[in-house]
Structure 1
Amino acid sequence: MYKNLAERIKKLTIELTEIPSIVGTKEEINVVTRIYEKFTDMKYFKDHPNNLKLVDVISDNLNRKSVLAVVKGQKGNSNKTVVLIGHTDTVGISDYGHIKEYATKPLELKDKLRELSIPEDALKDLESGEYLFGRGIFDMKCGTATLITIVEELSNKVEDLEGNIV
């Protein structure tokens, strides 16, 4: 079970990382739109469309949005709620130098990083094959992928869920 979850999180992490979302750019909306689409594909939100919203950021000249998703547990009558929060914007990619076009392509980036002078510990991590590299992976596209996967898992078991997830 956990291996399947880990693979789903990894796949979604790569997918989200491949969508550039540098802070303060119009590109930020693209990853939010994809996340919203992921939720609309879930059975729970097909059955409860009013529990999923794409919310405008107030007074934002870039027309950015946030996703608000609510899963209501059916076990008991609890109003307890766990709020999951993440973000999707990243810092820029200029520090990647001549390989910056690969900064959001984790599967290609690992080979391109060998062209740079990187610290020995980072090179060791790269050679281990145990890590994904890419702009925003650890802050926080992997975290966002994990949160989406948690919501998906819990939304498939609302009869066992006591409380709510936002």
Structure 2
Amino acid sequence: MDYRSNEIYCYCDAGFLLNEVDRHSCQDINECSVANAGCSQLCVNLPGSYECQCKPGYTMTYDRKTCEDINECASNSSRCHHSCSNTPGGYECSCEKGYRLAEDGYSCYDVNECLVNNGECSQLCRNYEGGHHCECFIGYKLADDGMTCIESVVRFMVNYDSVRINF
């Protein structure tokens, strides 16, 4: 109070401003409204102050304003069965050759390659966990490409005393 003018002066605590209309109440300053209060991601206005927060997949750094990506793959917090790739704010799972990612986004299941075009095998296709291989009927052998069966040429030689017969 100013005794000379009989006026009362009101003051507000930090984080509040004097109400311009009634001049005796204080109103909260929304620090988040100006440049997000320096928060790198989320700013939450609180009575008389504010708080920076991070989106899921990020963690707050020591300055309490900056959010840093969490590498879920390095921290083993991912649920990936095969491979994990870190992404901003999350991670993605992938599967090794011969497997497909399940609908849950984490699990991998075996692909039966023999169901599509016989696994590219010319005769028999055998599926196994994570892959497949080609086989041939009796009288055939697998070519160098590992998929094509070629006729086995078997030569017999019979020797009867002095008679030689080649087949």
TM-score interval (norm. to shorter): under 0.3
Give TM-score scaled by structure 1 length: 0.19
Q: Which has the higher contact order (CA 8 A, sep 6+)?
A: 1
Q: Which structure features the higher share of strand residues?
A: 2
Structure having the higher Rg: 2
